[in-house]
Amino acid sequence: RPALPTPYQPPRSDAETRLVQIWEGLLGISPVGIHDDFFELGGHSLLGTRLLRQVEETSGLRLSLGQLFRMPTVAALAAELERSVGARRTPEPVEEDSVRPLRGGLGEGGLDIDLEELSDDAVGRLLASLAPEEVEV
């Protein structure tokens, strides 16, 4: 660990722990604290790209290199990841007139379902159970 003015602070959450592990592996430095700056530790844009790819592989969330430049610490990036996860879980409000029934090959009436009453998982299972040629949205 290079001599840095920032005192070491260990990770406080799962997101911070995952990021610290990625940073330590890429930078070859241990320990990495949550307030250490990626670029002050020797990181650069190419390593940043690798870091973001690993973040996406482990979390499923895609961050940009610009976000890393704006949020170069584990704490800041973890907060952004946690905010993004929360945003993905919060559904966008749907206007009543934009809700249309799902029509399928189940007789002349098709399949009329109020999708707003179903969970995201239930909608996914429903759509996966229908053959593509049966679904007209």
pLDDT digits (tens, 9 = 90+) for 40-93: 999 999 999 999 999 999 988 898 999 999 999 999 999 999 888 755 554 556
pLDDT digits (tens, 9 = 90+) for 102-115: 544 444 444 455 55
Sorted by where each starts, the structural domains of the chain and their CATH numbers stand as 14-89 (1.10.1200.10), 96-134 (no CATH)
pTM for the model: 0.59
- The mean pLDDT value of the chain amounts to 78
CA distance 118 to 121: 8
pLDDT digits (tens, 9 = 90+) for 18-32: 999 999 999 999 999
pLDDT of residue 33: 96
